Structure 1
Amino acid sequence: MTEGILVGVTVVFVAVTLIQYWSQPSWWVRGWDFPKLQVGALLLVLLLIQLLLLDFSNRWNLLLPPATLGCLAYQWWWIRPYTPLVRCEVDWADPNDDGPRIRILSSNVLTPNRHADRLIALVRRYQPDVLVALETDQWWDEQLQVLSDDYPYCIRCPLDNLYGMHVFSRLPLEHQRLSFLVQDNIPSMHARLRVNDELGVRMHFLHPAPPSPTENDESTERDVELLIVGRSVKQTDEPVIVSGDLNDVAWSPTTRLFRKISGLLDPRIGRGMFNTFHAQYRFLRWPLDHFFHSAHFRVARIERLADIGSDHFPMFIELQYDRRHASEQHSLEADAADRARMQQKVAQEPASKDDVPRP
């Protein structure tokens, strides 16, 4: 009986692992990109149980631990970059360098959440230059008005569909644009952040819809939005920051492809996962809220912040502009197969890199 159960469970985990090789965009396939940490933990437990309970005089049972170990290695390969076991992709900022710094606080507030005071308290404490608030509706728009004196530059798009967005800045936002790149009800925001007379930073704030049975049956719309923004920023030598709730985990094939196509760096690599969702369920957490940036920046500080009553934790980052050492930091490189996969995905929606504002 015990051996039969272990065989069945092992077969399920092998199937769950193999299905992730499939490029099918359906939500029930792409959903397995998310819980790699959780699946890996369960595989480790399964492996230990196999070693303790299986009767290895039965030669067929000898196949189970290697199969489980192979699945565990696959999950580990994806999440390993987001552990301190690898070198940081983005260097730490030099505390003695006086280069300009940019502080950004990004928070998916959860529309029905009524604890705006908690977010406002974090803004007062961390003093970001830019606040990105996602899932904001008219109620949140009214609550966040108290920030207007300190953050006079703002792009607003309150919505009742869980995709409202607000960007507040204490620094000027030039050439600001509100766009609906792929879906008519899913906004994105784009602007040039004027840090000083010499430095302007191209900013893109995104919140594409996830693949799920209640929203998009497939990941296509999300993937296309990420990839056309990635193609657009690849064509500039200017400093760039992309942030928001991308509804995709840091270690997914799509986010990895975005990094290759855009040439942007991920400051979490070598530092940690910074799991922001789900704030209320400790075992069901993965990194959905992201900062990506060009090699012009180094990291001075990155933190997951305190619970504000949302299903997401806020994220905070402080970046230092350091163009002199940009050549020392390298992103993933796209090869011909990556570019072909990108072209295939983008062709599925009537959107292109030319639709992305270039502030």
Structure 2
Amino acid sequence: MDSARILFQFLIAACAVASSVALLAGFFGAFHPALDSFSHFRTHLAALLVLLALVMIIAGPRWQAVPFLVFAIACLATTTSLPGLGKSQAGFTAKPDDRAVYRLLQMNLRYNNPTPEKVLSLIDSVKPDVVTLNEVSDMWAGKLKLLSGVYPYSIACPFPNGFFGVALLSRQPFVEGSEPQCNDRGSMATAHIDFGGTEVAVAAVHIGWPWPFNQFRQIRSLSHPLATLGEDAVVAGDFNAVPWSEAVQRFARAGALTLVPSAGPTWFYRRLPAALSFAGLPIDQVLYKGAVVVHSATLLEDTGSDHRPVLVEFSLKPAAAEPEGGPKTATVSAERPEQRKLVRGG
């Protein structure tokens, strides 16, 4: 009996050490993308370590459980998506009464979504000013054309595999003289949009999977487009990376962007029970800079994808008064066919 208990204690301690090593590795993602891959599961590993520490408290020796428990809690404190901690709502500013508040809806459509009508219904009910879309496959090109009357300004960028294209839809006009762009084989779509006379660069992005895939390489290839966005910008998309990862932080640094506090887990493995959705990953991100002021970030209902949509409300700081006769932002007419047409996504 004693030998069985000693073996059990050893196995629990070994699992606790392994979990701790994996957790620690995730803090060194700047040195190698393989280490950053551990960071995406920080909340899960920390929760496992808490459970193992509790088992150690019950089964003994209790003193060994203390450092593991403290380390696990410290790791959880570095995340922004754990339900109940309240950190996900930090940093938001109250809505202003004296200027317009705009809405951006970020959605990973899922390339083979069996219920596209749910997506169209949500867009119709929420009525966002801008929609950023990921996994825009050939199936979605025709569906999105149904929205062209409400969203006359749009750009879609096909991706070589035919599934992971991105698109951007806008009620607000594109700035006259600006050209919407596709970057990195169609993983980023950018348009300069006129929000009541203020030019804001808005981008939809889809970043690939972490190491051993080429997530860091893709972020490097997007460094120049991010650095040239302009003073005021909003970037939204499926990053396949959690907010505290080196991947997201590196992306933010490349564009001098600030990360919107996470609204919570956006991705969830659909074969698991819905009751476990809280254990998903917050991998859909929105970033901003310049005159953009963010007021809220909210998870919306399921639309048939394995990602939940994120609705962000923001406003723009009043621009400094221009001298009489100074430059003003010109906008594209809604009648310009080259801006109204939705380019087919691949």
Task: State TM-score, norm by structure 2.
Answer: 0.78
Which residue number corresponds to residue 153 of structure 1?
153
Q: Secondary structure at the match of 1:173?
A: coil
| 1:33 corresponds to which of 23, 32, 39 | 39
| 2:304 corresponds to which of 277, 285, 309 | 309
Which residue number corresponds to residue 220 of structure 1?
216
Which residue number corresponds to residue 12 of structure 1?
18
- Residue 163 (structure 2) pairs with residue 162 (structure 1): yes
Which residue number corresponds to residue 234 of structure 2?
241
The separation in 2 between residues aligned to 1:261 and 1:226, in whole angstroms, is 8
The separation in 1 between residues aligned to 2:307 and 2:76, in whole angstroms, is 24
Give, in angstroms, the shift of residue 15 of structure 1: 1.7
Q: Counterpart of 1:70 in structure 2: which amino acid?
A: F
**Shift in CA distance, 80/123, structure 1 to aligned 2, threshold 3 Å:** closer
The separation in 2 between residues aligned to 1:260 and 1:63, in whole angstroms, is 40
- Superposition pairs of residues 123-134 of structure 1, within 5 angstroms: 123-134=123-134
The separation in 1 between residues aligned to 2:25 and 2:309, in whole angstroms, is 32
Which residue number corresponds to residue 199 of structure 2?
200
Unaligned runs of 5+ in 2: 1-6, 321-346
Q: Which has the larger radius of gyration?
A: 2
Q: Which of structure 1's runs of 4+ aligned residues deviate more than 3 A? A: 21-27, 78-83, 158-161, 225-233, 257-263
- 8 Å Cα contact 1:210/1:247 also seen in 2: yes
The separation in 2 between residues aligned to 1:139 and 1:295, in whole angstroms, is 36
Q: Secondary structure at the match of 1:306?
A: coil
- Superposition pairs of residues 38-187 of structure 1, within 5 angstroms: 38-56=44-62, 62-79=63-80, 83-85=85-87, 88-94=90-96, 96-97=97-98, 99-159=99-159, 160-174=161-175, 175-181=178-184, 184=185, 186-187=186-187
Give, in angstroms, the shift of residue 304 of structure 1: 0.9
The separation in 1 between residues aligned to 2:74 and 2:318, in whole angstroms, is 37
Give, in angstroms, the shift of residue 88 of structure 1: 2.6
Give, in angstroms, the shift of residue 26 of structure 1: 4.4
- 8 Å Cα contact 2:136/2:167 also seen in 1: yes
Q: CA RMSD in A?
A: 2.7
**Shift in CA distance, 13/125, structure 1 to aligned 2, threshold 3 Å:** same
Give, in angstroms, the shift of residue 283 of structure 1: 5.2
Q: Give CA deviations for 1:133-185 in whole Å, capped at 9, x if unaligned.
A: 2111111101121101111111123454432122111111232333333xx4x
| 1:274 corresponds to which of 256, 264, 271 | 264
Q: Counterpart of 1:150 in structure 2: which amino acid?
A: V
Give, in angstroms, the shift of residue 315 of structure 1: 1.0
Task: State TM-score, norm by structure 1.
Answer: 0.76
| 2:227 corresponds to which of 221, 226, 231 | 231
Give, in angstroms, the shift of residue 229 of structure 1: 4.6
Q: Give CA deviations for 1:61-119 in whole Å, capped at 9, x if unaligned.
A: x344314422441342244899425883242222x22x133211111111111211001
* Larger mean Cα displacement after TM superposition, 127-136 or 63-72: 63-72
Q: Identity over the aligned pairs, expressed in percent?
A: 20
**Shift in CA distance, 152/129, structure 1 to aligned 2, threshold 3 Å:** same
The separation in 2 between residues aligned to 1:68 and 1:107, in whole angstroms, is 37
Q: Secondary structure at the match of 1:147?
A: coil
Which residue number corresponds to residue 296 of structure 1?
291
Which residue number corresponds to residue 339 of structure 2?
none
The separation in 2 between residues aligned to 1:80 and 1:128, in whole angstroms, is 24
Q: Counterpart of 1:167 in structure 2: which amino acid?
A: L
Q: Give CA deviations for 1:176-198 in whole Å, capped at 9, x if unaligned.
A: 333333xx4x43111111122x2
Which residue number corresponds to residue 287 of structure 1?
282
Give, in angstroms, the shift of residue 125 of structure 1: 0.4
- 8 Å Cα contact 2:16/2:53 also seen in 1: no
How many residues of Structure 1 are paired with residues of Structure 2 in the alignment?
Answer: 304
- 8 Å Cα contact 2:205/2:238 also seen in 1: yes
The separation in 2 between residues aligned to 1:310 and 1:86, in whole angstroms, is 23
The separation in 2 between residues aligned to 1:107 and 1:74, in whole angstroms, is 29
